[in-house]
Amino acid sequence: MASAEYSISIKKPVHEIFDFIRNGDNNKLWRPSVIKVNKETKGEIGVGTKYSQTMKGPFGKNISGDYEITHYDLDRKLSFKVISGPARPIGDYVFEDKGGETKVTFSLSYTPHGLGKIMEPMINKQMQKETALLLNIKKYLER
């Protein structure tokens, strides 16, 4: 199984960080691979909310990276699963209020199947890069 985890402290209140991350429209602001994102479900963001995403893929081709929110605990935890695209990891954001700062931990995991197993080292490396993009949220929100 491929997995990655990254934690960072951001000098903003937990509700502000949670609200920023839960809103998939913000993915374009901190994830350079996201070209287009759209909320597909109506109503408030919560369990079952789906986003369609177009992302930059290998060899200059765009790939799908649609996802669905699977766990929603306000200001504490947000989980999702990727529901389209070549790899379909699951992910968690865990939020901890540190008195004026927020510690955010982003983790991803994926179990490759079939021929995908030989690509596990590459997938693992890419997931490590993806979780480390929390640095971009810090830069964006603390500016």
Sorted by where each begins, the domain ranges of the chain are: 2-142
Q: Which residues of 111-137 are buried (b: 16+ CB within 10 A; e: fewer)?
A: ebeeeeeeeeeebbebbeebbebbeeb
pLDDT above 80 for 85:
yes
Q: Per-residue pLDDT tens for 42-72? A: 999 999 999 999 999 888 899 999 999 999 9
Q: Are residues 17 and 30 in contact, defined by beta-carbon separation less than 8 angstroms? A: no
Half-sphere exposure for 95 (CA within 13 Å, toward CB): 26
Supply φ then ψ for residue 67, to 5 degrees. Answer: -145, 165
Q: What was the pLDDT predicted at 83?
A: 97
pLDDT band, very low/low/confident/very high, at 123 (cuts 50, 70, 90): confident
pLDDT above 90 for 108:
yes
Task: Give the predicted TM-score (pTM) of the model.
Answer: 0.92
Give the three-state DSSP class for 27: helix
Q: What was the pLDDT predicted at 59?
A: 83
Would you say domain 2-142 falls under CATH 3.30.530.20?
yes
Contacts 24+ apart (CB under 8 A), 64-67: 65/34, 66/40, 67/24
Q: Are residues 27 and 37 in contact, defined by beta-carbon separation less than 8 angstroms? A: yes
Q: Per-residue pLDDT tens for 127-143? A: 999 999 999 999 999 99
* Percent share of the chain, pLDDT over 70: 100
- Alpha carbons 5 and 131: distance in angstroms, whole number: 6
Cβ neighbours of residue 133 closer than 8 Å, sequence gap 6 or more: 30, 31, 32
pLDDT band, very low/low/confident/very high, at 106 (cuts 50, 70, 90): very high
Q: What was the pLDDT predicted at 4?
A: 96
Element (H, E) at 138: helix 134-142
Give the three-state DSSP class for 106: strand
Amino acid identity for residue 53 in this structure: Q
